[in-house]
Each structure stands twice: as structure tokens, then as C-alpha cells.
Amino acid sequence: MDTLLNYFSSLPGAVAQGIIAGIMAIGVYITYRVLDVADLTVDGSYCTGAAVCAAMLINGHSVWVAMLVAMLAGMVAGLITGFFHTFMGIPAILSGILTQLMLWSINLKIMGIALGKVSAAVIAVSSRNYKLLASMLKMGDTLLVLAIFSVILIAVLYWFFGTEYGATLRATGDNPQMSRALGINTDIRKIMGLVLSNGIVALAGSLLAQYQGNAEINMGRGAIVTGLAAVIIGEALLGKLTKNNFALKLFAVIVGGIVYFIIYSTIIYLGVESNYLKMLSALVLACFLAVPYWKTRFAKHAKRSNVTKGEP
């Protein structure tokens, strides 16, 4: 009974982490779905956002300035990946890996400078010394602030992608050949998409640093898998409802992040050894990735059965 109560008491924390992961996954969604680009910069820029935010906070800067600079740092990371991909002709997935490797060293240096060292792997941020997003001390406040933050982000992105420039960015992902024929500079649009995506990822990293009370070098490891999981789970659960509405598609990504972390918490509650958590996370993602395929196969099988029976 006590174990079950502990499980339910852990759910608000899972929801909070899920919302933060969902915000990060919105950045992944922009490259993965909108631009149709495989970007692995995320694992590095997620940590960059956390490192920059924590470094600025312990040096006396306000939360909002720290988050803004963290977002700008992530945008620079996206710019580097975009430069590798478009101007140097390196495939997108390899460009992201190269930037991610660079960011590992840069993140160590950022945290080291903040602590007056050559490099550092961890920065602790005490929530008692800083007013982090209205207050991260109470879970109720945290969930409310993160929910409002998500709604504002979705509203801003919905507006942006409804503008002429945002529409050309979406067109670049949908049909780059036609976009070029219409006079759209697809290379610049790809760079801007990567800049926007990694800026949002770094912003999520700054939120995670505040929520956890620290930034550490490994916190971005596997972020791309978590982001993709949130995107895929959200589409699998709310695909029909979000078909013709971009804002709802972004909302579905947030829901996917929450569901992913609730599943993660449930796995931990069931007593699974921690060494298997990554493996089980990969299997959960594989199952949700298979849902569209299973639906298609089931529909084809049902159609063949109806034809065999002579039904229209």
C-alpha cells in the first residue's frame, strides 16, 4: 500500500518532467516533421541550455535573462549544424553529430568558467537562493507555470508558422524542389529551422536545470530518443484529432512527453532494475512507432476480408 502511495505521489513529478520533455520535443518536431531533417544536435544543445542557465544563475543574473541567453546559445548550436549541412555539404545527421561532439567540450568549459575552474561536469543551483519561475519549491506551482509556459510557446509557434516566412519554412520541408522553383532559398530556411529547433531545446534544458537544481554534462544523453518518443506517442494517441490543426499537433507532443514519463515512472514502480530502463524505453518507443504500421496492415487485411466475402 505504501509503495502504491509512493507511486501516485511521484506522478506530479513525472508530469512536470514530461512537460519539460514535451517542450524539448517540440524542437525535435520542427526538424523531424516540419523540415524532414534528422538532427542529432539535440543531445548537446539540451545540455548547453542547462549549463548556460545554471552558470548565469550562480553568477547573479535573473532567471529570465539566464533563460534567454540559454536559448540564444542553443540557437547558435543550431546555426553551426545548419552551416555544416548547407554550406559544407555534410549530411544533416552527421552535421548534428559533429556539433554534438563540439558541444560536449563547450558545455564542460561553460560550467568550468562559471565555477572558476578549467572545466566542470556539474553545477548545482539551489532553488532556495533563486526565485525560479515563480517558485519551483511547490509542485503545484511548478506544474501551473510549466503548463502556462507550454501554452505560450505553442501560441507563438502557431502564429509564426502561420506567417509568410513560417509557411515557406514548412514548404521547404514538404517539397524542397517545388520551394526552390518558387524562389525560396531552402538552405536559409533549413538553417533557420535548425536555429529555432535548437533554441527551443536549449530553453527546455534551462527549465530542466531549474527543476532538478543542477546542470550536469550527461543530462542531454538520449534527449533525441526522448524527444522522438514524445512526438511519436503524441501522434499515436491524438493523431486523428490533430490532423488539420498545427497547434493541436504541438499540444500532442506535450501530451506525448507526459505519457512517456508516466510510463517511465510505472516501469520504475514495477521494480525493474535500473540497468534495463534505457532498453525498455527503446522498446516502448518501438511499439509506438509500429502503431501506424499495424493500423495500415489491419486496415488492408480488413479490406481484403470484405472483398473475399463479397462485401462492398
DSSP of the chain: -HHHHHHHHHHHHHHHHHHHHHHHHHHHHIIIIIS-----THHHHHHHHHHHHHHHHHTT--HHHHHHHHHHHHHHHHHHHHHHHHTS---HHHHHHHHHHHHHHHHHHHHHHHTTSS--SEEE--TTTS-GGG-SSSHHHHHHHHHHHHHHHHHHHHHHHHSHHHHHHHHHHH-HHHHHHTT--HHHHHHHHHHHHHHHHHHHHHHHHHHHTEEETTTTTTHHHHHHHHHHHHHHHHTTTTTT-HHHHHHHHHHHHHHHHHHHHHHHHTT--GGGHHHHHHHHHHHHHHHHHHHHHHHHHHHHHHHHTT--
pLDDT mean over 143-155: 90
Length of the chain: 312
Q: Bigger pLDDT: 24 or 272? A: 24
Work out the pLDDT band at 309, boundaries 50, 70, 90.
low
Which residues, listed in sequence order, are joined to residue 124 by a DSSP beta bridge?
A: 214
Q: At what angle do helices 246-269 and 277-308 cross, to 10 degrees?
A: 120
Q: Is 25 a residue whose pLDDT tops 90? A: yes
Taking only the tens place, the pLDDT of each residue in 82-93 is: 999 999 999 999
Taking only the tens place, the pLDDT of each residue in 155-164 is: 999 999 999 9
Q: Is 93 among the domain residues?
A: yes
Work out the pLDDT band at 269, boundaries 50, 70, 90.
confident
Q: Is 209 a residue whose pLDDT tops 70? A: yes
Record the cell numbers describing residue 142, joined without a space. 511548478
The owner of cell 491524438 is 238
Q: Is 297 a residue whose pLDDT tops 60? A: yes
Q: What is the dihedral of CA 174, 247, 151, 100, to 10 degrees?
A: -20
What is the structure's pLDDT at 100?
Answer: 95
Taking only the tens place, the pLDDT of each residue in 105-117 is: 999 999 999 888 8
Q: Is 308 among the domain residues?
A: no
Contact between residue 70 and residue 205 where contact means Cβ atoms under 8 Å apart: yes
Q: Is 312 among the domain residues?
A: no
In one-letter notation, the amino acid at residue 280 is L
Mean pLDDT of the chain: 87
In one-letter notation, the amino acid at residue 96 is G
What is the structure's pLDDT at 306?
Answer: 65
pLDDT mean over 97-102: 95
Contact between residue 141 and residue 135 where contact means Cβ atoms under 8 Å apart: yes
**How many structural domains are present in the chain?**
1
Spatial separation of the C-alpha atoms in residues 43 and 59, rounded to whole Å:
25
What is the structure's pLDDT at 103?
Answer: 96
Q: Is 300 among the domain residues?
A: no
What is the structure's pLDDT at 296?
Answer: 78
Spatial separation of the C-alpha atoms in residues 84 and 287, rounded to whole Å:
33
Q: Is 12 among the domain residues?
A: yes
Report the percent of the chain where pLDDT is more than 90: 54
Q: Is 239 a residue whose pLDDT tops 70? A: yes
Q: Is 306 among the domain residues?
A: no
Domain, as residue range, for 63:
2-292
Contact between residue 25 and residue 227 where contact means Cβ atoms under 8 Å apart: yes
Pairing assessment for the beta strands 214-216 and 122-124 based on DSSP bridges? antiparallel
Taking only the tens place, the pLDDT of each residue in 44-64 is: 999 999 999 999 988 888 888
Record the cell numbers describing residue 119, joined without a space. 572545466
Q: Is 128 a residue whose pLDDT tops 70? A: no
Q: 183: domain CATH number?
A: 1.10.3470
pLDDT mean over 61-80: 94
- Non-local (6+) Cβ contacts of 304 within 8 A are none
Q: Is 311 among the domain residues?
A: no
